[in-house]
Amino acid sequence: MPFVIADDGAQIFYKDWGTGGTPVILSHGWPLNADAWDAAALFLAANGHRVIAHDRRGHGRSSQTWNGNEMDTYADDLACLIDFLDLTDVTLVGHSTGGGEAVHYIGRHGTARVAGLVLVSAVPPLMLGSDDNPGGLPIEVFDGIRAGESADRSQLYRELADGPFFGNNRNNDVSQGVRDAFWLQSMASGHRGAYECIAAFSATDFRPDLAKVDVPTLVIHGSDDQIVPFEVGGKRSAAAIDGATLTVYEHGAHGLPDTERDRLHTDLLAFVDSLTA
């Protein structure tokens, strides 16, 4: 299996699909891994693009490091991958926590190698409510997730998959297979890494990073996202990025790569192709 070695020696697993074309990097959400993007990766590669998807440290096949389970290191790991593969004109696509990773990469490393950015159900600008972020979610929401991760992580992942992640509690037609895949990927994450990542995705302030985004950007968010509410995430991110295009999937849940697969694939391909038109 291919790995890139991060600055602290951690092994970051990645997939590299396709035979040519402009590169696309797909960053996954918590507590999943690169497999969450397999359908999109196959579609984009079949349509002429080179597609890379990696397992964030602490997730999937990457090292389960004791330290480094925070956004600075996640972004630097992404930089190691991009530099190792010597990618240029890359489109960064991030779902949920992966969207935070992508914008934090831009905040720390700039856009010299980046052609475009896509945020899908992404956590920026800042999920956690505070005095200067009054529209955010209360700390109790994230403390509840931490409590579930500590007490019975397997059951937590089952409840997320069967309920709000895919909108299955809203009578969405979400197959047992899709929900089982979420649980399986989640259980492959490291316990400490998954626990610490809750703070990384909820409490990291991405507002300074969004201010540095100077490439074409597409923001996609479901109007019925129960994990990262539209008003907290996509709406604010689109407003913070100069010239960003906002696409709202009406009644869309958080897990758009599965619940709105065909539409998302079409939108991603059209955006990536537009960057070289």
Q: Catalytic residue, from 55, 221, 254, 258: name it.
A: 254
* Contact call for residues 96 and 119 (beta carbons, < 8 A): no
* Contact call for residues 145 and 156 (beta carbons, < 8 A): yes
Q: Is 96 a catalytic residue?
A: yes
Q: Is 254 a catalytic residue?
A: yes
Helices (H), the chain: 38-46, 71-84, 97-109, 139-162, 176-187, 191-203, 207-210, 234-240, 256-259, 261-274
Phi, psi values for residue 84, rounded to 5°:
-60, -40
Q: Catalytic residue, from 96, 121, 186, 202: name it.
A: 96
Q: Catalytic residue, from 35, 55, 76, 225: name it.
A: 225
Q: Is 104 a catalytic residue?
A: no
Strands 3-5 and 217-222, by their bridges, are: unpaired
3-state class (DSSP) for residue 228 = coil
Tell me the C-alpha distance between 43 and 265, whole Å. 7
Indicate which residues carry an active-site annotation: 96, 225, 254
